[in-house]
Amino acid sequence: MPAVQETVDRVRRIDVDQYRYGFETLIESEKAPKGLSEDIVRFISEKKNEPAWMLEWRLEAYRRWLTMTEPTWARVNYPKIDYQDLYYYAAPKPKKTLSSIDEIDPEILKTYEKLGIPLREVAILEGVEPPPGGEPSEQRKIAVDAVFDSVSVATTFQKELKKAGVIFMPISEAIREHPELVRKYLGSVVPTTDNFFATLNSAVFSDGSFVYVPPGVRCPMELSTYFRINERNTGQFERTLIIADKGSYVSYLEGCTAPQRDENQLHAAVVELVALDDAEIKYSTVQNWYPGNSEGKGGIYNFVTKRGDCRGDHSKISWTQVETGSAITWKYPSCILRGDNSRGEFYSIAISNGYQQVDSGTKMIHLGKNTSSRIISKGIAAGKSQNTYRGLVTAHRKAIGARNYTACDSLLIGDKCGAHTVPYVEAKNSSATFEHEATTSKISEDVLFYCVQRGLSQEEAVGLVVNGFVKDVLQQLPMEFAVEAQKLISISLEGSVG
Amino acid sequence: MALLEVKDLQVRVEDREILHGLSLTVNPGEVHAIMGPNGSGKSTLSHVIAGKPGYEVTGGQILFRGEDLLEMAPDERAAKGVFLAFQYPVEIPGVATMNFLRTALNAQRKARGESEYSTPDFLKKVREVSKSLSIPQDMLKRGVNVGFSGGEKKRNEILQMALFEPSLCILDEMDSGLDIDALRIAADGVNALRSSERAMVVITHYQRLLNYIVPDYVHVMAKGSVVKTGGKELALQLEESGYAQFEDA
């Protein structure tokens, strides 16, 4: 296997940190005192001008959290986290109350510009600029909610969305402006008691996005939230809640980056999706948190609870994730298939390199009749990383005719990494049809040689083969992001990844 | 100047010496056939010229237009104009053939400091070449060699050869796995690429292929070196007498 060895060596020689988003924005910020206590929870709630019910909700979660222990079942290793040594709230210091995007601190605007995130209301993703002089076409518009550390700094296209009846705003605003919706749905998919990290999030979450799509409305544009951690020693605890009312449709994308730092940073988010009768939610993630350097120092701990509830009949929730960042990833975007004939999908690409550890997968919980689900997972391990797929497919007694198809493929690059597949399959009724396929392969030396003989460099060859390997999943992403993700995969494999 | 000069080449794989002092000189415009029994080192020679990892060159040299080829990475050799048509072309699932062709062609052009092809120019070129090789357009949309028949895989190799316009083409057992019609199409494709600037090294077991691709020189390899060189008539003699005479020598 010399060719593979050569690639691995070559990658090792390359300057380690090719993470392109590792810069820091120097900006004054307002922080809560370090550590976690009831007072901090009150502080956050007060900062957000929250109603009393919200504070109570948080405090209940906090008290519950004190009785819980950190889960240890995932195939990841990290030193004990001192939860009293973190900041739970950090916000860019506002110079005055903002009334338009032009009043946002220019440093923050610059940051998003550097990240390629459009905060001005034009459709400007790479390669999809509108024709000169022409208006951006409807489907090219992307509304963005930008979350910087603990607060949302801008949400674009709000007016236009409002016309369609779609509510897209920071969750902190939604708590004040649409309390009836938030109270009804918040915690209804991921209860405050769900798990250690989700409970912590419930106590201290500071911002995130809120989406409500009214009955029968097809959201006129892609919605996206862009998360940025900037502050040192700060945890980011965002909370996203998306509700697709009867017969509606929404496609939502989140992206994330963070500066390069030697310390580990905690990111514990909760995402809840609710799809009512005949509604569809497509949720895509391109996760590119700082992965740590080639020695395994620094990087984000990405401990995230994402769950969708297909509450209505004929509803559909589809998760697509491209995971390339974070030192440790612990996330299982799941679907509760409650409504009859509902459908859940999970498409995942998880790339690990260096010392990254990924334990990710999904849960498809079939409760309703004739529910179906599909899982396509592509894990790519390089360097000294460990990449685990962990999944649960279960059919309840009453889930007559439940169907699942699962395909888990792993690709190994080099011989110091590991790929693991841990599928749990339970059928409590005899009419369920569950299929599971899994493969593990090494990137073949013959294939690499073929490519370099045709003029590709070793790295281009690896990138090409890997992009081919993940193609089925890339196709699930909104087109503009598929292009981005494809680039990201190549970069990951060039730089800090083997 | 000779295009390719292989001088006293000695090659080992693990502990076994495969080539013991092989020499070969190829000038632009020439077609050389290398014949020999299994295990004589024919494929090893082609792999070492193209730079496949896993071979240790313990002596001798390979010059390409006077430059030391062994110092170059395989992709540099490709950009310089060395092309190996594989005996067993690999499959690359999920990578559309068209995409692969363009990526490879532009990588080579970039390495030579040439501008990349524009999409319309590239498509036009691919269409022309694929038509002459009877390659249907929908084959180019499929993954590289995925689900291709033996003949389609070989035609895909020749398609690449025509697109990349290399100055040295090494055809490793091009006839293996081809029926007579597929062989004729492939050979016609190769013959169309013969020119006064381009040289070809055709590696084969059988004389049959040389009825279609007529060589200027025939070399017989046995036990890791060239044991006899002659004109195209040598191939016909071999067909009658077999390789045994050289193996026993």
Q: What is the pLDDT of residues B80-103, one digit of tens each?
A: 999 999 999 999 988 999 999 999
Dihedral angle sign, alpha carbons of residues B96, B98, B100, B103 = negative
- Which one has a higher pLDDT value, B51 or A322? B51
Q: Which residues of B touch A475 (CB under 8 A)?
A: none
List, in sequence order, the alpha helices (H) in A1-146. 2-13, 38-47, 52-66, 106-115
By DSSP bridging, strand A151-155 and strand A209-213 are: unpaired
Q: Which residues of A touch B104 (CB under 8 A)?
A: 451, 454-456
Question: Pick from A444, A452, A471: which is nearest to B74 by CB?
Answer: A452
Number of H helices, E strands in chain B: 10, 12
B165 φ/ψ sector (left φ>0, alpha ψ -120 to 50, else beta): left
**From the centroid of its chain, how far is CA A53?**
28
Indicate yes or no: CB of A456 within 8 angstroms of CB of B92.
no
Q: Which residues of A touch B98 (CB under 8 A)?
A: none
Radius of gyration over every alpha carbon of chain B, rounded to an integer in angstroms: 18
The B-side interface with A (CB below 8 A) comprises: 50-54, 73-75, 77-79, 83-84, 86, 89-95, 100, 103-105, 107-108, 111, 143, 160, 164
pLDDT bin (cut points 50, 70, 90) of residue A165 is very high
A389 within 8 A of A377, measured Cβ to Cβ = yes
Q: Which residues of A touch B51 (CB under 8 A)?
A: 452-453
CB atoms within 10 A of CB A70: 12
pLDDT in tens, B35-76: 998 889 999 999 999 999 999 999 999 999 999 999 999 999
Chain B residue with minimal CA distance to A465?
A: B92
pLDDT for the residue numbered A19: 63
d(CA A182, CA B122): 54
Q: What is the pLDDT averaged over residues B228-234?
A: 92
Indicate yes or no: CB of A467 within 8 angstroms of CB of B95.
yes
Biggest CA-to-CA distance, chain A: 68
pLDDT for the residue numbered A2: 39
Indicate yes or no: CB of B90 within 8 angstroms of CB of A447.
yes
Q: Which residues of A touch B95 (CB under 8 A)?
A: 464-465, 467-468, 471
pLDDT bin (cut points 50, 70, 90) of residue A498 is very low
pLDDT bin (cut points 50, 70, 90) of residue A136 is very low
Least confident of A262-271, A371-380, B134-143: A262-271
Q: Which residues of A touch B103 (CB under 8 A)?
A: 456, 460, 464
Q: How high is the mean pLDDT of chain B? A: 92
d(CA B206, CA B213): 12
pLDDT bin (cut points 50, 70, 90) of residue A21 is low
Least confident of A19-28, A160-169, B3-12: A19-28
Could you tell me the two tokens for B41? 């080192």
Cβ neighbors of A148 (< 8 A, separation 6 or more) are A91, A92, A108, A111, A228, A230
pLDDT for the residue numbered A152: 65
CB atoms within 10 A of CB A59: 15
pLDDT bin (cut points 50, 70, 90) of residue A462 is confident
A301 within 8 A of A266, measured Cβ to Cβ = yes
Cβ neighbors of A70 (< 8 A, separation 6 or more) are A81, A196
pLDDT in tens, A353-411: 888 899 999 999 999 999 999 999 999 888 888 999 999 999 999 999 999 999 999 98
User: What's phi and psi for A175, nearest 5 deg?
Assistant: -60, -35
pLDDT in tens, B163-211: 999 999 999 999 888 888 888 888 999 999 999 999 999 999 888 899 9
Query: Is the pTM here over 0.90, yes or no?
Result: no
pLDDT for the residue numbered A157: 76
Cβ neighbors of A344 (< 8 A, separation 6 or more) are A308, A310, A316, A317, A318, A334, A335, A337, A364, A371, A372, A373, A374
Asked whether the predicted pLDDT for residue A111 surpasses 70, the reply is no
Q: For an interface test with B, which of A376, A451, A474 has the most B Cβ atoms less than 10 Å from its Cβ?
A: A451
User: What's phi and psi for A290, nearest 5 deg?
Assistant: -60, 125
Q: For an interface test with A, which of B47, B83, B95, B160 has the most A Cβ atoms less than 10 Å from its Cβ?
A: B95
Closest CA to A473 of A366, A360, A350, A388: A350
Question: Pick from A2, A457, A468: which is nearest to B95 by CB?
Answer: A468
B148 within 8 A of B139, measured Cβ to Cβ = yes
Hey, what CATH class is B4-95+168-248 in? Answer: alpha beta
Cβ neighbors of A300 (< 8 A, separation 6 or more) are A229, A258, A264, A265, A266, A267, A289, A290, A291, A325, A326, A327, A328
Instruction: List the B225-230 sheet strands across, edge first.
Output: B82-85, B168-172, B199-204, B31-35, B217-222, B225-230
Chain A residue with minimal CA distance to B92?
A: A465
ipTM score over 0.85, yes or no: yes
Asked whether the predicted pLDDT for residue A323 surpasses 90, the reply is no
Least confident of A79-93, A141-155, B73-87: A141-155
CB atoms within 10 A of CB A245: 20
Indicate yes or no: CB of B75 within 8 angstroms of CB of A469.
no
Cα angle A98-A102-A103, degrees, rounded to a multiple of 5: 35
Beta-carbon contacts below 8 Å between A and B: 81
Dihedral angle sign, alpha carbons of residues B134, B140, B142, B147 = positive
Indicate yes or no: CB of B75 within 8 angstroms of CB of A464.
no
Burial A386-413 (b: 16+ CB within 10 A, else e): bbbbbbbbbbbeebbbbbbebebbbbbb
pLDDT for the residue numbered A101: 56
User: What's phi and psi for A72, nearest 5 deg?
Assistant: -125, 5
Indicate yes or no: CB of A455 within 8 angstroms of CB of B104.
yes
Domain boundaries, chain B: 4-95+168-248
Could you tell me the two tokens for A388? 């685990």
Q: How high is the mean pLDDT of chain A? A: 81
Question: Pick from B78, B90, B103: which is nearest to A446 by CB?
Answer: B90
pLDDT for the residue numbered A275: 98
The A-side interface with B (CB below 8 A) comprises: 2-3, 6, 444-447, 449-458, 460, 464-465, 467-472
Q: Which residues of A touch B72 (CB under 8 A)?
A: none
Shortest alpha-carbon distance between residue B54 and chain A (Å): 6
d(CA A134, CA A128): 12
Question: Pick from A6, A452, A468: which is nearest to B93 by CB?
Answer: A468
Indicate yes or no: CB of A453 within 8 angstroms of CB of B108.
no
Asked whether the predicted pLDDT for residue B9 surpasses 80, the reply is yes
